Structure 1
């Protein structure tokens, strides 16, 4: 008997749901060659009218005790040729099977009304999940974008399980307001969050590629309220305790745009973002140290800017640009960093990929970009995933909901 984690994935693009289910179960089971403890399934929204049929079909031929999954605008998996493939806007079914010896696997379905108050003690969250913090569980979370209170959930889980990794994504469809599908233990749910807590003989590592590159220099927020930045201070020295003159954010931004080349200036018109530094004490901020948030608007009279997150005085921010080139560069840099920092033994068993619907072929102009780049660095490991309406992953030790991001959860043994 082997006590190694084993992982297999199969992707089917057959237009008949029965045929797709048969293919992924047969290929993934054959590849795993062990009894599976967990199944993770992603179904493309091209099948949305058939979501109700997926669980009965799987239950008939799959004998895995725990299953979670959801619907997505596209799915990602390993095709018949052994290549990782991203299927967007077409019928697709991706099934990952995992044999997890020495791992406690606990699935859950949580409705927003069941969430404890954010001021309550960690015990409320622990009761909700049913796993003690001492077990140091790792979480995979799949949520409905409209009915899950996902920000409150990840905040509560960070509070109750500090240091535990949480990755996942929001179910997505093709039509706005179309009902999403969430799956937990062979049942279909239309709202809330489904997930699994994995504890014991397992490590989940993450790569969170937000797809942006910094421009200009970091500033310190000297005046801000809610999500509005009203005044900034330039950092004029390596010692970030020493700051320069105060400025209006809009004035600083206008000056910065003057220094950009023609291409970046064009890009700044519709792909400008704000990075909020997560580590208050890190002196030299680099790519990956920022939580990327949208620039929501400007107030020309007050010279203020509004961003898609709360800000407070003392925080450091830096303007960022996003395009296909920056996105590819960002992911490659993070993959190289991951390769340098992680031991090659034991090798990673498999990975889940949660990618924004705004990436993929629409961003890069060619298919399978992120997944193939990932496989170049983590060779031949099975990858399963989907295109999300929002991606869940950690930045500097706290979990956030992202946009335009690819989050990878890489699984290996301790």
Structure 2
């Protein structure tokens, strides 16, 4: 039998860190049945004070050439019975191990101050990351939310590594203002970005579920500056929005009071915009005097935007639609070997009123794929061929051989 890619994941809920480490290493290693080339570890922020002990404990029991990970507000992984589980706010530890034949695995840590400015040539980024652009690398990135300059990093990676895919999330500490933890091999960092580049015999596919549905129609921005939309189709945006809301059903009108978002079309040339063509951004405020609206991104004349709503049912339908589409598109490809899930703290049980929703929906469409991940303070994934930092999103990174 040819040497094939393998993944394994184990989740532990033991409140003692020693016991949790022993359990995940034992279960993931015996499930993998091949030497691990990469480890990904996610630890609950309930263990914040014990972050410095994690890597020494892992190192005693686990032999893996490259290991990265971080702390998160909730942890995702596989129970002993093979069920997907999302644990929010409880002590938990998730370990994914991957056997990656024919794949070069390179880890890196960078801090925001080291980033080249955005006018620099691609070589400046390649030199910083230390990974050649060919064969095209796939990136997994874990960042601190405060000082990593993550948006600049994502723009730089897209520029220097055309065709690469990046997924990941922002680590978070405990609600008591605990410090974040980023782990790489045997080092604990408190800031910057830890990442791994996977080059060679690997494909990283993504599902980016932003949890929204469009209402009304797309409008073209006829006047805008910075993040302010001043005119839509030469009308004040607030008037356009008021007309739109008046024509909604009663339940959607209520939803628009607290869950209204703006989708920015990513493809300038696509005629018929559909589900998944928009980058969802928050509606920050309105200026009744000017009739302008402010959104959580830069806008420019000529862009098309469409208003969106978000609730539990919409989020569920959005993810299901994306999973069905992924299943259709990949049914003739080699089976996926493993997956990672980076989900927003604003999803999970707080959104759906039941646990394990996104991960179990994933397993209904993609069965028997070991899944690990965490609940983030911001999710990294591509929309329309460029990589963005999202909110309220679930980003799945699915790995297989080409």
Q: Structure 1 length as normaliser, TM-score?
A: 0.96
Total equivalences in the alignment: 402
Q: 1:12-31, aligned counterparts within 5 Å?
A: 12-31=12-31
Give the match for residue 137 of structure 1.
137
- Offset, 1:345: 3.7
Kept after mapping to 2: 8 A contact 1:67/1:184: yes
Give the match for residue 365 of structure 1.
353
- Offset, 1:173: 2.5
Give the match for residue 382 of structure 1.
370
- Which residue among 335, 353, 361 is the counterpart of 2:341? 353
Q: Distance between the aligned counterparts of 2:332 and 2:226, measured in 1?
A: 44
Q: Distance between the aligned counterparts of 2:208 and 2:224, measured in 1?
A: 27
Q: Aligned Cα RMSD in Å?
A: 0.9
Q: Distance between the aligned counterparts of 2:177 and 2:326, measured in 1?
A: 37
- Offset, 1:174: 3.0
Q: Distance between the aligned counterparts of 2:16 and 2:52, measured in 1?
A: 14
- Offset, 1:178: 2.5
Does residue 1:113 correspond to 2:113, yes or no? yes
Give the match for residue 71 of structure 2.
71
Give unpaired runs (5+ residues) of structure 1.
Answer: 234-245
Give the match for residue 333 of structure 1.
321
Give the match for residue 282 of structure 2.
294
- Offset, 1:172: 1.4
Q: 1:231-380, aligned counterparts within 5 Å?
A: 231-233=231-233, 246-380=234-368
Q: Structure 2 length as normaliser, TM-score?
A: 0.99
- Offset, 1:227: 0.2
Kept after mapping to 1: 8 A contact 2:13/2:92: yes
Select between 333-342 and 171-180 the one with higher mean Cα deviation: 171-180
Kept after mapping to 1: 8 A contact 2:48/2:174: no
Give the match for residue 192 of structure 1.
192
Instruction: Give the 3-state SS of the residue equivalent to 1:135 in structure 2.
Output: coil
Instruction: Give the 3-state SS of the residue equivalent to 1:370 in structure 2.
Output: helix
Kept after mapping to 2: 8 A contact 1:3/1:102: no
CA displacement, residues 258-282 of structure 1 (integer Å, 9 cap, x when unaligned): 0111111111011000000000011
Instruction: Give the 3-state SS of the residue equivalent to 1:247 in structure 2.
Output: coil
Instruction: Give the 3-state SS of the residue equivalent to 1:133 in structure 2.
Output: coil
Q: Distance between the aligned counterparts of 1:357 and 1:376, measured in 2?
A: 22
Q: Distance between the aligned counterparts of 1:283 and 1:178, measured in 2?
A: 48
Q: Distance between the aligned counterparts of 2:131 and 2:276, measured in 1?
A: 31
Q: Distance between the aligned counterparts of 1:403 and 1:193, measured in 2?
A: 18
Select between 173-182 and 183-192 the one with higher mean Cα deviation: 173-182
Give the match for residue 240 of structure 1.
none
- Offset, 1:127: 0.6
Instruction: Give the 3-state SS of the residue equivalent to 2:134 in structure 1.
Output: helix
CA displacement, residues 340-388 of structure 1 (integer Å, 9 cap, x when unaligned): 1113441000100000000000000000000000111111100000000
Instruction: Give the 3-state SS of the residue equivalent to 1:24 in structure 2.
Output: helix
CA displacement, residues 2-36 of structure 1 (integer Å, 9 cap, x when unaligned): 42110000000010100000000000001000000
Does residue 1:39 correspond to 2:39, yes or no? yes
Flag as ranges the 4+ runs of structure 1 deviating above 3 A. none
CA displacement, residues 161-192 of structure 1 (integer Å, 9 cap, x when unaligned): 01100000000123264310000012110000
